[in-house]
Amino acid sequence: GWNIKPDMIVEMPNDFQVPASGAIEYQYMLVKGNFTEDRWVSAAEMRPGNSKVVHHGEVWVRPPGSKWMADAEVGVSYPMSKMKKQPSDEIDILGKFNPGVGAQDFVLDESAKFVPKGSDLVFEIHYTAIGKATTDRTKVGIVFARTPPRERYFTSYGPQASNLVIPAADGNAEVVGEITLQADAKLVYAQPHMHLRGKDYELRL
């Protein structure tokens, strides 16, 4: 069951066919959002259809006019290398799944997430093969805010360690990433994601 009481549930319209073995590129699937008006979201929960193969994932808000996934067909999975995000796009993570991370709420300091009218959703999923072919159809539950918020809650994917290089046998290789914000903001959440490659991290503002 859900850890929230969703007002809307959006599911991937088609299964992703997970191969039995090999590395699987991150997959992106465009899904129609059916947002007929601007909406504010107070909570979201991404639930894997098959938790054995979903390592982690995000559901992105793709606003009208976004260049990202502009040529994508609804319900078709595309590898990340063919559908790279556009840095200029104002795309926000609506909900996400990581082992140990449950439903997320966005109500701190009377905030909420903004979903513009006409937005679509993009399911981004990192799959892990388990030795036999299987399928997945993940979904997200959404709770709408009952009143307009005081602040907008926005989740960024940065900074990223796109220059990640760990020399062989080096137990202290340092990787640095940075991001510059274009507007005043308050940091309310941070989630390092290093798999088993990182032993510590430092965050500076």
Rounded Cα distance, 149 and 40, in Å: 8
In this structure, of 38-47, 124-133, 185-194, the range with the lowest mean pLDDT score is 185-194
Rounded Cα distance, 41 and 144, in Å: 4
Q: Is 148 left (phi over 0), alpha (psi -120 to 50) or beta?
A: beta
Rounded Cα distance, 171 and 169, in Å: 6
Percent of the chain whose predicted confidence (pLDDT) is above 90: 69
Q: Is the dihedral angle over the CA atoms 52, 53, 58, 61 positive or is it negative? A: negative
pLDDT digits (tens, 9 = 90+) for 149-174: 999 999 887 787 777 888 999 988 88
Match 């008006």 to its residue by tokens. Answer: 37
What single DSSP character describes residue 81? G
